Amino acid sequence: MIELVYQNSTADKGFKKDFFEKISNTIVKELNLKEKSLNISFNIVGENRIKELNRKYRHKNKVTDVLSFPMSDKPLRKLHATSYTPQASDFGDIFICLPFAKKQAKSENIDVERKLAQLTVHGFLHLAGYDHEKSAKDAKEMFDLEGRILNKLSVF
């Protein structure tokens, strides 16, 4: 079961908690985490906030689209289903920069909803322990899984 804590600190209130819950439930099903109790914090933020977080935690002084902060140093993808039961609030936080996502959607000629779905999946996979920056093999694995999950989201 997934428990989503949702906060939108931007002026654009068009995207609601249920939008991200639907995507998250699809991810949980695809990653076979249905029996887990996961709390995730989703934060929709502006460019100043994402830049501040990126500078503070990644030492990159620039705006980015999505940041993920796992609460556990034990990636779910590397643990057997029976060996780990997450406690409430230990999965992590996802920050999505809505203005930047809108710019990306426009430049990629896709709907903002599709872009937000992609960023949500991407951020969630990072929380689960996937990392496209480690190696080409890891990147392929993560992006292939991201694509499969996005294809399951029939609304987009």
At CA 116, angle to CA 28 and CA 50, rounded to 5? 105
How far is it, in rounded angstroms, from Cα 113 to Cα 27?
16
122 is in an annotated binding site: yes
Query: Beta-strand (E) ranges in the chain?
Result: 2-8, 38-45, 66-70, 92-97
Provide φ and ψ at 148, rounded to 5°: -60, -45
How far is it, in rounded angstroms, from Cα 12 to Cα 17?
13
Residue 146: strand, helix, or coil: helix
How far is it, in rounded angstroms, from Cα 29 to Cα 68?
20
Binding residues: 122, 126, 132
Numbered residues of the known binding site for Zn(2+)? 122, 126, 132
